[in-house]
Amino acid sequence: MANPIILTVDDDIQVVNAIERDLRQHYRQDYRIMKATSGAVALETVQRLKQRNDQMALFLVDQRMPGMSGIAFLAEAMKFYPNARKVLLTAYADTQAAIAAINLIGLDHYLMKPWSPPEQNLYPVLDDLLSDWLATAEVPFDGIRVAGTLWSASSHTIKDFLARSQIPYQWLDIEQDAEARALVDAVSNEQHHLPVLFFPDGSALINPHITTVAAKIGLRTQATHPFYDLIIVGAGPAGLAAAVYAASEGLRTLLIDKETTGGQAGTSSRIENYLGFPNGVSGADLARRATAQATRLGAEILTAQEVTQIRVDDPYRFVQLADGTELSCKALAGVYYGAALTEAAYYKGKHMFVVGGANSAGQGAMFFSRYASKVTMLVRGSSLQKDMSQYLIDQINCTENIELRTHTSVSRVIGTDRLEALEIRDNDTGETETVPAAALFVFIGAKPHSDFVADVVERNQAGFILTGPDLISDGRRPKSWRLNRDPYLLETTVPGIFAVGDVRQDAVKRVASAVGQGSTAISFVHQYLKTV
Ligand SMILES: Cc1cc2nc3c(=O)[nH]c(=O)nc-3n(C[C@H](O)[C@H](O)[C@H](O)COP(=O)(O)OP(=O)(O)OC[C@H]3O[C@@H](n4cnc5c(N)ncnc54)[C@H](O)[C@@H]3O)c2cc1C
């Protein structure tokens, strides 16, 4: 972490050089000394430094400057660095203005020019102020800062992407944090396109797409080859398992995800039923381990890249990405979506509601109960027994701040700028009740993301992909099928295109099942590749 800064501002070049010299002589070990020759230039510097999250310890500023007085400069600079100490350099004629500034902007001190000898007139004052500043200075966060509002969907997307990609970041809520608001105003010309991301190198991105963020933070978003043996669409447990097996068995493998690795499982706060983790494992941890394993074994992974279309031109399968790139392969495997838990900490001490009665809702409620004062689970059925694992039901029963309300549904969501209350309906009596609510999380299942293969492979009405035995009807193969064999277990209506995990019709929606299918598919991929 670089040293904190002392910034001195004076329009007289000789004076500013003299102050700089005296400051360096005494403070250069512990502080960076910077200078500017006008208030406007100094303000630009201040904004740039804040963008990099540098620490400002003290401003030493001349009062009489053309364009912007010292006091006017300090008033603006304080918006970015309210805790920096403020010292004004004055002539006798400015004494009244300096005294007024003590009340006006919280001026810490004013010094008469000339200040020599500095050992007597400058250093004692500044030493005192700097030791005062040091006592309360917070160590600045040395990473990506995301400034936005809790209620901005695009802020949520970015936070979720960073969290699930295991990239540490600091969240700045501009509704709560005036310094962050000033910084956002400065870089976005008060347009308030949120979120704004600030990077340690001083650059900023305004409401970027996750692909831009991924590229900026060094995640791979572009394929290194135009052709692969196997392209896997979706880096959930099924895709990751397929990548691990394929790469370890020598296939040139590319795994692509439109967000980041981990899939729905990556959003789970604790998976307790996956083999080999007696104390459970968080979805993020499982995703991190699997990603590292797939990469180590040689699979190439692209994140923040959506597959928009696939096409078949035998014997090759082509995959089109959202950025227009087209990649080809001999075999293709592919997909789903889920909710994220990154928001929980912001509802500390509040009353949260969870809709749903299956495992994901149970895990969500358990996770939120660590932060919220109370979590109410709204369940349509008569109990949790039908769709939830017993270990979760036991945990929920033992958690004092989780309330379970069965036979209920949300009939109305109330609020002007944000959620304020819910109207809850008792499904037995039809009676409704309005309750204040800080947050509502819905865990009622997800839709398959399979539109990009809609014209290529056969799906059921809900969009789930048919594979293997599902394709045989009355002992007959699908009409479009030209090969002299039945489709393999996880193969779709197009030979060499496989579907694994939750995207398949009648899939068992579990991590272990997705992993099992991902790995099983690779043995069929090998069999298929022998024929092309
Ligand atoms: C909150 C929650 C908790 C859960 N807890 C458990 C549990 O405790 N135990 C358990 O066994 N199961 C649990 N599950 C279920 C389990 O996570 C899923 O069954 C599993 O993740 C399915 O894996 P998958 O690889 O088939 O699909 P997914 O995990 O859905 O992954 C699909 C991936 O494909 C990507 N994708 C989709 N379309 C495209 C496209 N066009 N281009 C590129 N990428 C695309 C998505 O971004 C996603 O990353 C939970 C699910 C949720 C939501």
Residue 231 Cβ inside 6 Å of ligand 1? The answer reads no
> 103 CA to middle of ligand 1, Å?
58
Q: What is the pLDDT of residues 204-244, one digit of tens each?
A: 999 999 999 999 999 999 999 999 999 999 999 999 999 99
> 448 CA to middle of ligand 1, Å?
10
The pLDDT assigned to 339 comes to: 44
The pLDDT assigned to 387 comes to: 80
> 105 CA to middle of ligand 1, Å?
53
Query: Considering just the CA atoms, what is the radius of gyration of the chain in Å?
Result: 30
* 259 contact partners, CB below 8 Å, separation of at least 6: 160, 161, 164, 210, 303, 304
Closest Cα to atom 12 of ligand 1: 510
Whether 339 and 333 have beta carbons less than 8 Å apart is answered as no
Residue 260 Cβ inside 6 Å of ligand 1? The answer reads no
Question: What's the chain's average pLDDT?
Answer: 92
The pLDDT assigned to 336 comes to: 47
Neighbours of 48 (CB within 10 A): 12
Q: What is the pLDDT of residues 357-373, one digit of tens each?
A: 988 899 889 989 988 99
Whether 505 and 231 have beta carbons less than 8 Å apart is answered as no
| DSSP summary character for residue 195 | -
Please give the number of the atom of ligand 1 that sits closest to the Cα of 509. Answer: 19
> 215 CA to middle of ligand 1, Å?
24
> 338 CA to middle of ligand 1, Å?
7
Share above pLDDT 70 across residues of the chain, in percent, rounded to a whole number: 98
pLDDT class of 441 with cuts at 50, 70, 90: confident
Residue 221 Cβ inside 6 Å of ligand 1? The answer reads no
Residue 306 Cβ inside 6 Å of ligand 1? The answer reads yes
Please give the number of the atom of ligand 1 that sits closest to the Cα of 273. Answer: 9
**Which residue, 383, 364, 419, 376, is CA-closest to 401?**
376
The pLDDT assigned to 342 comes to: 63
> 495 CA to middle of ligand 1, Å?
24
Average pLDDT over residues 421-430: 94
Q: What is the pLDDT of residues 324-357, one digit of tens each?
A: 999 999 989 775 443 456 667 778 889 999 999 9
The pLDDT assigned to 341 comes to: 60
Q: What is the pLDDT of residues 53-88, one digit of tens each?
A: 999 999 999 999 999 999 999 999 999 999 999 999
Closest Cα to atom 2 of ligand 1: 360
Counting Cβ atoms within 10 Å, is residue 1 exposed (0-12), middle (13-18) or buried (19+)? exposed
Mutate to test the pocket of ligand 1, among 256, 282, 336 (most ligand atoms within 8 A of CB): 336
The pLDDT assigned to 206 comes to: 95
CA 133 to CA 138: how far, in whole Å?
Answer: 10
Residue 236 Cβ inside 6 Å of ligand 1? The answer reads yes
CA 296 to CA 9: how far, in whole Å?
Answer: 53
> 164 CA to middle of ligand 1, Å?
13
> 282 CA to middle of ligand 1, Å?
14
Q: What is the pLDDT of residues 237-289, one digit of tens each?
A: 999 999 999 999 999 999 999 999 999 999 888 999 999 999 999 999 999 99
Structure tokens at 31: 């502080």
Closest Cα to atom 22 of ligand 1: 502
> 333 CA to middle of ligand 1, Å?
15
The pLDDT assigned to 334 comes to: 73
Counting Cβ atoms within 10 Å, is residue 479 exposed (0-12), middle (13-18) or buried (19+)? exposed
pTM of the model: 0.81
Average pLDDT over residues 446-467: 90
Mutate to test the pocket of ligand 1, among 221, 261, 268 (most ligand atoms within 8 A of CB): 268
Share above pLDDT 90 across residues of the chain, in percent, rounded to a whole number: 76
The pLDDT assigned to 415 comes to: 84
**Which residue, 453, 454, 423, 427, is CA-closest to 440?**
423
Q: What is the pLDDT of residues 93-123, one digit of tens each?
A: 888 889 999 988 999 999 998 898 999 999 9
The pLDDT assigned to 338 comes to: 39
pLDDT class of 149 with cuts at 50, 70, 90: confident
Please give the number of the atom of ligand 1 that sits closest to the Cα of 512. Answer: 11
Which phi and psi (to 5°) does residue 306 adopt?
Answer: -90, 135
Residue 211 Cβ inside 6 Å of ligand 1? The answer reads no
> 335 CA to middle of ligand 1, Å?
7
> 19 CA to middle of ligand 1, Å?
61
The pLDDT assigned to 417 comes to: 73
The pLDDT assigned to 335 comes to: 54
Average pLDDT over residues 398-418: 91
Closest Cα to atom 48 of ligand 1: 263
The pLDDT assigned to 343 comes to: 67
